[in-house]
Amino acid sequence: MLKTSLFAVVFIALSAAAQSQPNSDVKFVADTLIVQAEGSYETDPDLATLAFDVSSQEKQLKDAYGKASQSMSNIVAVAQRNGLTKDAIQTGVLTVTPFYEGDRKRHARAYLVQGQVTLKVQDFSKVGAIIDDSVQDGIADFRSLTYSLANEESAKQKAVADAMHRAIGRATAALEQSRQKLGPTRYVNVEVRNLVGARPIEMAYVSAATETIEVASGGGSGGIFSHAKRAPAPPPPVQPG
């Protein structure tokens, strides 16, 4: 079964009196306590993205363009028959490449017309039928199939929340002997990096998040953190081999 696993690494920095190093995940640097913790969230992907290339070459431009255009229309029709909405169907523009013999002032000897179609499918049981029906004309080629999450940001937040919970617990435990408390947050930095991993038979889309949080110690109860996130666009999930 396909699985999407998201891993978050959280770093918390807070003011505290220097003490001995409890473990490798809790360190004191001068008067600052730095805590590292990991969190995770695993779920099944719920979105399949199909990509098709359309290519037609003929001596006459109208013939090449007509065949490519018809092929794209066929793919759209197949998608609609399988319940895809307009938002789930993306068709690119058709590009024309002329081929000349010698002098470019002469008429082109042939024309190549190319385009792309991308379909987003949430019912995985229809993926096979869509692929088969879309390439029947011999003009469209199936290019790739990738799996991902329709709401990736929500899954990332759950992984980060799990890491935050663990980090706060470790920070609290490290300060128990000195009876210090976690203070209010002064600064939060989140870095998200995306990794793609593959297992035999299975595919895994792995996203990792790194969060740096600075917390001031004080008499407050603590535990209130604000998040300033910045996430680069993820790479596509692993394509099946």
- Residue 74 sits in a domain whose CATH number is 3.30.70.2970
Same domain, 122 and 62: yes
The SS3 assignment for 86 reads helix
Residues 225 and 213 in one domain: yes
How many distinct structural domains can be found in the chain? Answer: 2
Is the domain of 21 the same as that of 63?
Answer: no
| Residue that has been written with the tokens 């190319």 in this structure | 114
Q: Which of the listed residues 148, 167, 183 is the one where a domain comes to its end?
A: 148
Does the pLDDT value for residue 10 go beyond 50?
yes
> Does residue 172 share a domain with residue 111?
no
Q: How far is CA 9 from the centre of its chain?
A: 17
Judged against a pLDDT cut of 60, whether residue 215 lies above it is answered with no
**3-class DSSP assignment, residue 19:** coil
53 inside domain: yes
Q: Could you tell me the residue range of the domain that residue 82 belongs to?
A: 47-148
Which residues, 6 or more positions from 238, have their beta carbon under 8 angstroms from its beta carbon? 146, 196, 197, 198, 203, 204, 205
pLDDT of amino acid 238:
43
Could you tell me if 67 and 25 lie in one domain?
no
Tell whether 238 is covered by a domain. no
Banded model confidence at residue 232, pLDDT cuts 50, 70, 90: very low
pLDDT at 25: 57
Q: Which residue has the tokens 């790194």?
A: 210
Res 208 pLDDT > 50: no
Classify residue 235: in a domain, yes or no: no
Once rounded to an integer, what is the mean pLDDT over residues 225-241? 39
The model's pLDDT over 35-83, given as tens digits with 9 standing for 90+, comes to 777 777 777 888 999 999 999 999 999 999 999 999 999 999 999 999 9
For the full predicted model, state whether its pTM sits above 0.85.
no
CB contact set of 80 (below 8 Å; sequence gap of 6+): 89
Of 196, 189, 181, 174, nearest in space to 241 by CA: 196
215, exposed or middle or buried, with CB in 10 Å at 0-12, 13-18, 19+?
Answer: buried
Over residues 140-185, the pLDDT tens digits come to: 999 999 988 888 788 788 888 887 787 777 777 777 766 766 655 5
Of the three residues 89, 117, 148, the one that is the final residue of a domain is 148
End-to-end Cα, the chain, rounded Å? 15
Record the tokens describing residue 50, joined without a space. Answer: 């199909």
3-class secondary structure, 29: strand
Which string of b and e fits 34-73 if b means at least 16 CB within 10 Å? bbbbebebeeebebbbbbbebbbbbeeeeebbebbbebbe
**CA–CA separation, 29 vs 15, rounded Å?**
10
**Same-domain status, 68 and 29:** no
Q: List, for residues 88-129, the tens digit of each pLDDT value.
A: 999 999 999 999 887 767 788 999 999 999 999 999 999 999
Pull the structure tokens for residue 196.
């793609």
For residue 107, the model assigns a pLDDT of: 83
Same domain? 164 vs 140: no
Euclidean distance between CA atoms 140 and 117, whole angstroms? 9
Residue that the structure tokens 């995770």 belong to:
40
Residues 106, 17 share a domain = no
pLDDT grade for 32, boundaries at 50, 70 and 90: low
State whether 130 and 75 are in the same domain: yes
